[in-house]
Amino acid sequence: MPENTIKVDISFQSLVEAISLLQPAEKQKLWELLDADLFPDDEDTSEDIAEIQAARADYAAGDYTTFDEYMQERESQSA
């Protein structure tokens, strides 16, 4: 533990109640801290980020197929 850290014992129920009183932005920050602590190796790689950006660009350009269009195409291929 860092030198100026204070350990506090708090019941889980008290913690849940305290969290319920937080503002949405504070809850989001808590979520991010917990996510980083629970899944430290779950960071997006530069390849992941590039793929996400490419998919968003395709979507913004209208280059996508809706689920209904996909199903129609699939049905016409099987007929």
Are 22 and 30 a contacting pair, CB within 8 Å?
yes
Considering the domain boundaries, does residue 21 fall inside one?
yes
Are 40 and 34 a contacting pair, CB within 8 Å?
no
The pLDDT tens digits for 15-44 are 999 999 999 999 999 998 998 888 877 677
The pLDDT tens digits for 46-61 are 888 899 999 999 999 9
Give the type of residue at 25: A
Average pLDDT for residues 71-76, to the nearest whole number? Answer: 91
pLDDT of residue 38: 87
pLDDT at 2 > cutoff 70:
no
pLDDT at 1 > cutoff 70:
no
Domain that holds residue 22: 12-78
Considering the domain boundaries, does residue 2 fall inside one?
no
Considering the domain boundaries, does residue 28 fall inside one?
yes
